[in-house]
A and B are shown apart, each in its own frame.
Chain A
Amino acid sequence: MSSQAASGETDTILRQVLQDVLGLTHQRVAAFDADTGLFGHLPELDSMAVAGLLTEVEDRLGIIIEDDEVDGEMLETYGALLAFVQARHGA
């Protein structure tokens, strides 16, 4: 698989997980861009929901996310979270 295809797949899966966790419509999640605010902007995303989100991303992409890699910056925007997950998934 080319790295471009892999990164497109990561984007699709991450959007799907956010849609499932937040109960948002497909259209709304499809409209997320790199600057869309996540943690701190979406009241539904408390720490239990973030934990569930990260665990689901791990399971669906077959990656491991260490807790000490998780910080406010990585969860701040959709773009930051995607870049983080892509770095793990592509590695």
Chain B
Amino acid sequence: MIAAWPTPAGEEYAVAFDKGRAHRVLVLPAWFDESNKLRRFTVEVMRRLDGSGIDSFLPDLPGCNESLAPLETQTLESWRTEAAEAAWHFSATHVLAIRAGAMIAPDALPGWRYAPAAGSSQLRALLRARVLSSREAGREEDRDTLLAQGRQSGLELAGYRLGAAMITALAEAGLPASVSHRDIGQGDLGGAGLWLRAEPDYDPKQADALAVIMAMELLA
């Protein structure tokens, strides 16, 4: 179930359900804090796809999860390249992009974007968390100054050390128009988005719902 895949930065891990089947889905996870909150949901969707006869692959992007590469040197562009690299390495036929994973979903593959989120809105939430926690600690900071500093020399936001190139790119990064991917909203799954939860939580019905939507389309 644990596989490896090569990146320019070295080898990275992936969770893989690989039985050499016809449908092979590359899963691009949510980012930063949201990736922790959605990790179990993501893997549970993959288990259900596996049970439906569909292979899937969840790569660690460099700088994320088990990766030894520093997050600070990653850029939106490098993640985009590596997502395409992972798609090629695992011979993916489809992609499932979760939340901000939609920012780097390869257009060359058909697939889905679940509750897609723009890079700019992710950055906005991270900056706000930083301002709020600094204020709690008695330090006044404001978003514009932080952003200017981040564009110059990078920033640590909610425990994530982002480089200047990543911050500059995210600040401008609206959600790309979906060309080859179909958007699946939270309303299609029912319940509240698990990335919103203050504490990580899990809802098997949501994993069921997303896997069913994908399996119905793939196996029809």
Contacts and interface: CB of A to CB of B under 8 A. Distances in A.
Interface of A: 17, 19-23, 44-52, 54-56, 67-68, 70-71
B199 A44 contact: yes
A67 B195 CA distance: 21
Given A48-B33, A51-B125, A55-B124, A70 B198 contact: no
Contacts of B136: 47
Interface of B: 33, 121, 124-133, 135-136, 142-143, 158, 192-193, 195-199, 201
A48 B158 contact: yes
Nearest to A46: B198
Given A48-B33, A48-B158, A67 B128 contact: yes
B121 A55 contact: yes
Nearest to B197: A23
B60 to A, nearest CB: 21
Given A21-B197, A22-B198, A47-B136, A52 B192 contact: no
Contacts, number: 63
Given A20-B192, A51-B125, A52-B125, A67 B198 contact: no
Given A20-B193, A67-B143, A51 B132 contact: yes
Contacts of B196: 17, 20-21, 52, 56
Contact of A68 (B33, B142, B192, B198): B142
Nearest to A42: B198
A71 B121 CA distance: 21
Contacts of A46: 133, 198
A23 B125 contact: no
Contact of B129 (A20, A23, A44, A48): A48
Contacts of A23: 192, 197-199, 201
A50 B135 CA distance: 13
A23 to B, nearest CB: 5
A81 to B, nearest CB: 14
A55 B123 CA distance: 11
Given A47-B132, A49-B198, A54-B128, A19 B143 contact: no
A67 B201 contact: no
